[in-house]
Amino acid sequence: MSPRETPARRCARRAPRTLMRDAVAGFVHRGWQAVQAAALITAETAAGRRFARFGSGSSMAFPTGAVFGERWIEVGEDTIIGMHVTMCAGMVPGQDLGPQPVLRVGDRCAIGRGSHIVAHLSVQIGDDVFTGPYVYITDQNHGYADPYLPIGRQWPSNDTVSIGSGAWLGAGAIILPGAMIGRNVVVAADDGAGAPRVAVLVLRHGNHLSRMCLSR
């Protein structure tokens, strides 16, 4: 700014560039919102019809993560799946996993942004299950039986995963093969659940209910 340039003149000089930048930014934002709305996966879209079931009222936000093996994936009704969520059945696209779905997500669930759900044998997620962002759920683990063989060259092992209705999985939770999470159980953020079974026992004392968390 020259010695004689006032703040008002400086603002007036910069105004055209500011207006142009704001106009471009607004165009980009509105265009991206339009793309996201058009690419939303629902039961009525071609992408939704590729699933074994994609319930009415459910949606999967765009952009997605990796999504393949839809023929073996079921999504219930009124379930919301956030952006960048990976939902896969099998190791690679086109793998034949048999006649029945291996990944089921119940009704009224909310799957947080950036989460990964990868099924090979059986991942069952009940109704009203909510997850924070970046949750990882899988029914397959790396093999490590042979300490002299690199982990990546050992055949992986599978075990079923069950997440009970009403459960809450905090941000960054990791659910590994063999996990059985009971109804209305909370898995803390950045925590994990593996082969030990976890369940909730609800006891009634007159008109009062109490809960006990059981594991083995």
pLDDT tens per residue across span 178-189: 999 999 999 987
Burial class (CB in 10 A: 0-12, 13-18, 19+), 189: middle
What proportion of the chain, given as a percentage, has pLDDT over 70?
81
Supply the pLDDT for residue 215.
46
Supply the pLDDT for residue 143.
85
Does one domain contain both 25 and 92? no
CATH number of the structural domain spanning residue 105: 2.160.10.10
Lowest mean pLDDT, pick from 96-100, 109-113, 194-198: 194-198
> Which residues is 198 bridged to in the sheet?
181, 215
Does one domain contain both 20 and 81? no
**Six-digit token string for 81:** 């799946």
Say whether pLDDT at 206 is over 50: no
Does one domain contain both 145 and 80? yes
Q: Whole-angstrom Cα distance, residue 178 to residue 186?
A: 17
pLDDT tens per residue across span 117-157: 999 999 999 999 999 999 999 999 988 888 889 988 999 99
Per-residue pLDDT band at 213 (split at 50, 70, 90):
very low
Segment 20-40 shows an average pLDDT of: 90
| Cβ-based neighbour number of residue 104 at 10 Å | 19
Does one domain contain both 4 and 86? no
Segment 189-212 shows an average pLDDT of: 49
In sequence order, the 6+-apart residues with CB closer than 8 A to the CB of 4 are none
Supply the pLDDT for residue 125.
98
Does one domain contain both 32 and 73? no
Q: Which domain holds residue 23?
A: 1-39
Per-residue pLDDT band at 170 (split at 50, 70, 90):
very high
- On whether residue 44 sits in a domain, the answer given is no
Higher pLDDT, 190 or 101: 101
Does one domain contain both 57 and 25? no
Residue type at 179 in one-letter notation: A
Does one domain contain both 17 and 63? no
Lowest mean pLDDT, pick from 92-96, 144-148, 159-163, 182-186: 144-148
Chain center to CA of 197: 22
Please state whether the predicted TM-score (pTM) of the whole model is above 0.85.
Answer: no
pLDDT tens per residue across span 54-72: 999 999 999 999 999 999 9
Supply the pLDDT for residue 216.
42
Does one domain contain both 129 and 199? yes
Number of domains the chain contains: 2
Does one domain contain both 123 and 28? no
Does one domain contain both 185 and 117? yes
Does one domain contain both 69 and 114? yes
Does one domain contain both 91 and 184? yes
Segment 6-12 shows an average pLDDT of: 63
Asked if 112 contacts 133 with a C-beta cutoff of 8 angstroms, the reply is yes
Say whether pLDDT at 212 is over 80: no
Supply the pLDDT for residue 51.
98
Complete DSSP assignment for the chain? --TT--HHHHHHHHHHHHHHHHHHHHHHHHHHHHHHHHH-B-TTSHHHHTSSEE-TT-EE-SS---EE-GGGEEE-TT-EE-TT-EEEESSSTT----SS-SEEE-TT-EE-TT-EEEESS-EEE-TT-EE-TT-EEESEE---S-TTS-GGGSPPEE--EEE-TT-EE-TT-EE-TT-EE-TT-EE-TT-EE-SSEEEEEEEEETTEEEEEEEE-
Residue type at 95 in one-letter notation: Q
| Cβ-based neighbour number of residue 45 at 10 Å | 15
- On whether residue 45 sits in a domain, the answer given is no
